[in-house]
Chain A
Amino acid sequence: MTDSDLATVLTLLDDEHVRSILAATSERPMSANELGEHCGLSTTSIYRRLDRLRDADLVAEQTRPRSDGHHEAVYVSRLNRFELAVRNGSLSWEIDRQQADIADQLTELWGRF
């Protein structure tokens, strides 16, 4: 949970694949494999981006039970809104982060019974 600085966020958002990962995981949690297919990248490239996104606290990791009884890590976007304002000779920026989705929490809770 680091509050990343502006340069980090801008560098991340400069990458089209990062933007694509954020857009896809804002809709539903996705695994690295699913993201790889979605972006047309190797899972290695996906993981590299996911690590940087996690460090900046722009994606969160959740676990999801698979049909074979194992669990896999899935990723959810935390970026709700990124705002940059230039006013009165100064520049300010703000990140609005998403709280965990109720539906995901319900799914996880129900699985624990």
Chain B
Amino acid sequence: MVVFGLDSPISVLAGIAATASAVIGVYIGYQAYRGLRRNDDPSMRWLSVGMILLFGLTYLLAVAGQGLIAFRVVPIHLQSVFRLLVRVTQVVGLGCIAYSLRVATTT
């Protein structure tokens, strides 16, 4: 992961941890999507969208942002724009998960 900066073992570990959490988050999102397909449960739609936004999209945005800045495609002062995008995606994703708890039918 060049984009996470290979300048220190710490940042390599941080990159690995970020990738692992993205993979696990998207896996749970995928199982929620299967739950929607198998059980027609609307709460699973929001849970899967939320998990994929919160872990998948934020990760992609962070990696893309760092990559574009590292390869000087995007000027460094736009870094804050990527940070903002990641934060907004996190809020929207969490909102979806919170909403999925609301629509979940209590058994």
Contact = CB atoms under 8 A, between A and B. Distances in A.
B38 interface: yes
Nearest to A65: B105
Interface of B: 28, 31-32, 34-35, 37-39, 41, 43-44, 47, 100-101, 104-107
Given A65-B41, A106-B44, A111 B35 contact: no
Contacts of A103: 31-32, 34-35, 37-39, 44
A27 B37 CA distance: 10
A110 B101 contact: yes
Contacts of B106: 111-113
Contacts of A112: 106-107
B31 A111 contact: no
Contact of B107 (A27, A65, A102, A106): A65
B43 A101 contact: no
A104 B39 contact: yes
